[in-house]
Amino acid sequence: MALGRCGIGLGFRRRWPVAFGANHPPHHRQGRQDPRGRTEAGRPDRDCREARSSRSPTGKAPGDQNRCRCPRPPRCRVRTFRRRRYQHRGKRNGTAHHRYRRSAPRCVCTDGCVYLRPDSKITDTGLAHFKDCKNLVTLNLRNTPVTDAGLAYFQNCKNLEVLDLLGTQTSDTGLAHFKHCKNLTYLGLGGTRVTDVGLACFQDCKNLRYLGLPDTRIGNAGLAHFRDCKDLTYLRLSGTRVTDAGLAHLQHCKNLTFLHLDGTQVTDESLAWIGSQLSLGDLKLSDTRISLLGYEQLKAALPRCRIEWSEPNRAAAERVLGLGGTVEIGVPGQAETRRAQGAADLPR
């Protein structure tokens, strides 16, 4: 039977043991196989024994009698608190990481915790355990059931650079807790209940590079708060109420590489601004009011950009056919029409 490194090959997933730098404690633990690689009989595994026997006749180097000599060091320092049910990833390059599991009673790294990405089942009660993590730089709560009450625990986190609340129940009340976060570079609010009023909390975030507002009630007034974000590279406005007047507030944003406007009321009036974004690599214009002529102009102005576009009338025709209705297709300048039986009969 082949033995895995630092673990018996009995179908268990290969894991590295608990480690604290290069000199980590021995894996001497009685009992059954540990999922992280300890042996079944409480002895170091074969690789550890071979490594120690090659160093000295006694199998232990002088002065290192209590140190395990794995031939390959672990990839990172990991300590698991089983009863507390969360994982504390030790400091790497001056940072500390926490990955919440379900019911962490408290955070033991209040000074060095800079990254928090909880489990998708975390609630407002669970967030209370991290209320003292004032040095957070990244707060990722996407697709969690947290509400405005849970976000209140992070109102003192003024060093945030990444705030991702996509798919949460956040409203304008919750955004008010982050009005002092002026160092944000990433703001994800897609699928939330925020409005133009709530976005006023981020009008001083001039270093934003990512702004995601898809499937929200954001309109033209909301975009006006980001007129000074000249470093913006990723802008997602899919399914919002933005029109040409809203895009006019972003005239100074010249570094966009991703622009998603599908499902908005943008028309050909915005072609001049869109065409001036020479760095664009991905542009989505499906279900907008941009005409075929405007689409062809954009293709000529941005030859290296991947553009998704659909005829405005085609989108409406597909909805009618999906509801069992009928659609008649006519050619400009000709009196003859024909009836479409399905989406395949619609012109491309």
pLDDT averaged over every residue in the chain: 75
Tell me the per-residue pLDDT of 300-335, one tens digit each, with 9 for 90 and over.
Answer: 999 999 999 887 777 777 877 887 777 777 766 666
The answer on 292 and 343 residing in a single domain is: no
The answer on 142 and 209 residing in a single domain is: yes
| pTM (two decimals) | 0.65
The answer on 333 and 254 residing in a single domain is: no
Point out the least confidently predicted range of 95-99, 113-117, 250-254: 95-99
Beta-carbon count within 10 A of 213 CB: 27
Name the more confident of 330 and 171: 171
pLDDT at 328: 77
pLDDT at 246: 96
Name the more confident of 190 and 72: 190
The answer on 347 and 213 residing in a single domain is: no
pLDDT at 112: 52
339/229 Cα distance (integer angstroms)? 49
- Of 35, 54, 75, the position where a domain reaches its end is 75
Q: How confident is the model at residue 275 (pLDDT cuts 50, 70, 90)?
A: very high
Q: Are 287 and 266 in contact (CB under 8 A)?
A: no
Phi, psi of 286, rounded to the nearest 5 degrees: -65, 145
76/17 Cα distance (integer angstroms)? 10
- Of 75, 95, 123, the position where a domain reaches its end is 75
Residue 267 within any structural domain of the chain = yes
Please state the domain count of the chain: 3
Point out the least confidently predicted range of 2-11, 60-69, 92-101, 309-318: 2-11
Residue 106 within any structural domain of the chain = no
Classify burial at 13, counting beta carbons within 10 Å of its beta carbon; exposed 0-12, middle 13-18, buried 19 or more.
exposed
Residue 302 within any structural domain of the chain = yes
The answer on 186 and 229 residing in a single domain is: yes
Q: How confident is the model at residue 17 (pLDDT cuts 50, 70, 90)?
A: very low
pLDDT at 310: 82
The answer on 251 and 188 residing in a single domain is: yes
Q: How confident is the model at residue 109 (pLDDT cuts 50, 70, 90)?
A: low
Q: Are 238 and 264 in contact (CB under 8 A)?
A: yes
Residue range(s) defining the domain that contains residue 272: 137-310
Q: How confident is the model at residue 75 (pLDDT cuts 50, 70, 90)?
A: very low
The answer on 333 and 306 residing in a single domain is: no
The answer on 255 and 343 residing in a single domain is: no
Tell me the per-residue pLDDT of 22-70, one tens digit each, with 9 for 90 and over.
Answer: 444 444 444 444 444 443 344 444 444 444 444 444 444 444 444 444 4
The answer on 326 and 226 residing in a single domain is: no
CATH number for 306: 3.80.10.10
Terminal Cα distance for the chain, rounded = 61
pLDDT at 41: 40
Tell me the per-residue pLDDT of 194-228, one tens digit each, with 9 for 90 and over.
Answer: 999 999 999 999 999 999 999 999 999 999 999 99
pLDDT at 348: 65
Q: How confident is the model at residue 115 (pLDDT cuts 50, 70, 90)?
A: confident
Point out the least confidently predicted range of 59-63, 136-140, 246-250, 257-261: 59-63
The answer on 251 and 329 residing in a single domain is: no
pLDDT at 8: 31
The answer on 319 and 240 residing in a single domain is: no
pLDDT beyond 60 at 289:
yes
- Of 75, 91, 125, the position where a domain reaches its end is 75
272 Cβ neighbours under 8 A, 6+ residues apart: none
Residue 33 within any structural domain of the chain = yes
pLDDT at 51: 43
The answer on 336 and 281 residing in a single domain is: no
